[in-house]
Amino acid sequence: MKKFNPIKLAIAVTTVFLIVLIAFAVMLPWLVTWYVQIAGRHESLATTMMVTCYPCAPFVAVVLLTLRKLLKNIDIKNYDKMQNAKLLKYMSISCIIIALITVIAGRFYLPFYIVAATFAFLSLIIYAFKSVTDEIFSDK
């Protein structure tokens, strides 16, 4: 019987999320228009949401792709400190950029402030994890 490998599961999940991100980006105009009609919001909200989501999508893709690469490194037991630290740094910077984009959009649609806070906190967690792993694997 094969042993359960959570790393392989996480790699598969990141792949699924990348596919969902691409589908979401393709369907965004329809989804946003549908949401605005169902929720009874002003039509300008659709534009605000698209102008916010499209610039964030590449950075979300960077986060998912670097996470996938990091998980693959762990799976093959490649613990190269410099490469993995660089991947964590890319993830943290991407999360900060998403937080900045959504905090600006929060001025026009309040729920974006929640997204901004979430990504800022995620960036902090990733940066803290990077710092901890740097300290653990530092050459003394």
Report the alpha-carbon distance of residue 119 to residue 133 in Å, rounded. 21
Is 0.85 surpassed by the pTM of this model? yes
131, 92 in Cβ contact below 8 A? no
**pLDDT tens profile 93-108:** 999 999 999 999 999 9
**pLDDT tens profile 6-17:** 999 999 999 999
Alpha helices in 76-110 (DSSP H): 81-105
What's the DSSP call for residue 3?
P
Report the alpha-carbon distance of residue 17 to residue 97 in Å, rounded. 19
Residue 20 has pLDDT above 70, yes or no: yes
> What are the sequence ranges of the domains in the chain?
6-136
